[in-house]
A and B are shown apart, each in its own frame.
Chain A
């Protein structure tokens, strides 16, 4: 879960859409077709097109255009620089996840938070019970 690179956040990859694109391209496939990436990421054509151009301009993604018959096909893959950045960012996120999990575990080990149905605290025992006023039967 830590990847090969050093854990380092990357501002360009951090937005969720770009993180999805880069994370999917780093998943193990060499080249991923535009439609496959769009469907897996659950984003629209225009969003993928725009964000992939940003990543391409930054040198993180390589885009290859071709055609099968009359249908144009666009293939994307991470460049070595992009792969390093993604691995570093994902490692950083994984560290964050571990820290959050450890925080939740510590909170659970500290004990449950008492609810209203639990025994009242000693200081509450001396307090008089509040009685709700009866509902008004008639308006004035």
Chain B
């Protein structure tokens, strides 16, 4: 250790590892279809208050007509992202159930933001629909979708930073 400490060549493995982690992190860039797909999922999610359960209008659709495509597109997007990047990042559904929704440290701020926008967006939409302002509810839904997509981008950025930094391993 004493002799190695005088040898600058001892730095090379860590420097190399930093470069390689940078390459791995660069793979975690979403394909062109990922964020538009995420916008569709969030659009379906925020269309929830317009279903026949809470929105008494002939134009209202059933809850299942929104829920099933939303879940299907969500799974398709995650599968496609894993296939395109070659990386499975974050806990699986079982680990989320076991350790909690925000157990994945790098994604925690973005995850909290996503949850907050979801609850406040849905609440505001429901309140506006009750007060007979469906136009304003649609505007709120559009804003919420934009905010969710921005949070999703922030989540991917945080994952890239975590990969570049070594995920706390070193």
Contact with B along A79-105 (1 / 0, CB 8 A): 000010011001101101101101110
Contact with B along A28-65 (1 / 0, CB 8 A): 11111101110111100000000000000000000000
Give the residues in chain B near A31, CB-CB below 8 Å.
87-88
Q: Are A93 and B13 in contact (CB under 8 A)?
A: yes
The answer to whether the Cβ of B63 comes within 8 Å of any Cβ in the partner chain is no
Q: Please, which residue of chain B has its CB at the minimum distance from the CB of A86? A: B169
Q: Are A23 and B6 in contact (CB under 8 A)?
A: no
The answer to whether the Cβ of B71 comes within 8 Å of any Cβ in the partner chain is no
Interface of A is mostly: helix
Give the residues in chain B near A94, CB-CB below 8 Å.
14, 170
The answer to whether the Cβ of B85 comes within 8 Å of any Cβ in the partner chain is yes
The answer to whether the Cβ of A4 comes within 8 Å of any Cβ in the partner chain is yes
Q: Are B87 and A32 in contact (CB under 8 A)?
A: yes
* Residues B146-170 near A (CB distance < 8 A): 159, 162-163, 165-170
A sample of 7 inter-chain contacts (CB < 8 A) reads A28-B169, A36-B27, A42-B23, A87-B170, A93-B10, A94-B170, A96-B5
- Top 10 closest pairs, chain A to chain B, by CB: A28-B167, A36-B86, A90-B170, A33-B86, A99-B5, A26-B169, A31-B88, A40-B24, A40-B23, A23-B17
Q: Which A residues are within 8 Å of any B CB, using their own CB? A: 1-4, 16, 19-20, 23-24, 26-33, 35-37, 39-42, 68, 75, 83, 86-87, 90-91, 93-94, 96-97, 99-100, 102-104
